Amino acid sequence: MATPLITVTQLRLFAPRCDYLAIAPHLSAACAEASIDTPRELRHFMSQTHHESQGFTRWVENLSWSTPERLDAFFASVRGTADAKALIAKGPQAIANRIYAGKGGNRDEASGDGWRFRGRSPIQLSLRANYVLAKAWTGVDLVKHPELASGFQLGCRIAALWWRANGLNEIVAADPGERASIELIDARITANEIDDALQATRRINGGKNGLDDRIRKLRLAATIWRD
């Protein structure tokens, strides 16, 4: 039997709040499938997915907004604070269907695509177009059954296969330096995610939101997956 790329002990050290007993075998198998198999590749993959999934504890995007002013400020499709209050009162599903309507292959607000194709998996896969791509990578009809993307096994496969499909091992192999490589990978993730609020914050902060946390996670990963 091959040595696991990610063991339960390693994941417990790296992400102690997650269900590491259940998740570690799936992460290891997914990384093997996607050829994320050198210590350098594992460090970068694990640090990025840790950040995106809040330590492998968030497998579905949180759309529970509570502040109307912020919801209105972040999304052009929200028409003032009164409209934002009404959306918040209707709940996360109504918010998702409004703010993500017509984006990335999603249909209009009434279609329900915003909610149906919200972020899932450790990479927070989102938007109908990306679910179509993930169907081709995994062989699972994620367009018909998008909820399957939040399961541990398939979620790990989606994250790893997304990583491979977007050429992120090549960025790591080029070794442009710690900060530069994180910024390049982060840009690829941002281009594929649905979380417009996060993207708005990145723009406000000059595109560096979350960078410090990603660097901290990479340095922690370097103590676990060593060359």
Residue 137 lies in a domain: no
List, for residues 123-169, the tens digit of each pLDDT value.
999 899 999 999 999 999 999 999 999 999 999 999 999 999 988 88
Residues 83 and 186 reside in one and the same domain:
no
Dihedral, 212, 165, 167, 159 alpha carbons, nearest 10 = 20
Q: Does 38 fall in a domain?
A: yes
In this structure, the answer to whether residues 198 and 158 fall within a common structural domain is: yes
**Tell me, what's the pLDDT at 176?**
59
Residue 160 domain flag: yes
Do residue 156 and residue 216 come from a single domain? Answer: yes
Evaluate whether residue 134 is within a structural domain.
no
Residues 217 and 154 in one domain: yes
> Do 49 and 77 have their domain in common?
no
Residues 216, 154 share a domain: yes
**Residue 195: per-residue pLDDT:** 46
The model carries a pTM of 0.85
| Whether residues 214 and 155 fall in one domain | yes
**Within-domain flag for 212:** yes
Give residue 161's identity as a one-letter amino acid code: L
Tens-digit pLDDT profile for residues 178-199: 666 777 777 777 665 544 444 4
Any domain includes 85: yes
Q: Mean pLDDT, the chain, as a whole number?
A: 87
What is the number of structural domains in the chain? 2
DSSP one-letter string for 132-146: HHHHHHHSS-TTT-G
State the alpha helices, DSSP H only, in the chain: 8-14, 20-33, 39-52, 68-74, 81-90, 92-99, 113-116, 128-138, 152-165, 168-174, 178-192, 196-204, 211-222
Residue ranges making up the domain that contains 83: 68-116
- Asked whether residue 152 falls in the same domain as residue 218, the answer is yes
User: Is 169 in contact with 35 (CB distance < 8 Å)?
Assistant: yes
- Per residue in 20-76, pLDDT (tens digit) is 999 999 999 999 999 999 998 999 899 989 998 999 999 999 899 999 999 998 888
Give the three-class secondary structure for 120.
strand
Phi, psi of 71 (to 5 degrees): -60, -45
- Flag whether 91 is in a domain: yes
The answer to whether residues 159 and 48 belong to one domain is yes
Q: How confident is the model at residue 200 (pLDDT cuts 50, 70, 90)?
A: very low
- Whether residues 156 and 95 fall in one domain: no
* Rounded (10°) CA dihedral 115, 121, 126, 131: -100
Same domain, 13 and 77: no
127 in a domain, yes or no?
no
Q: Are residues 42 and 72 in the same domain?
A: no
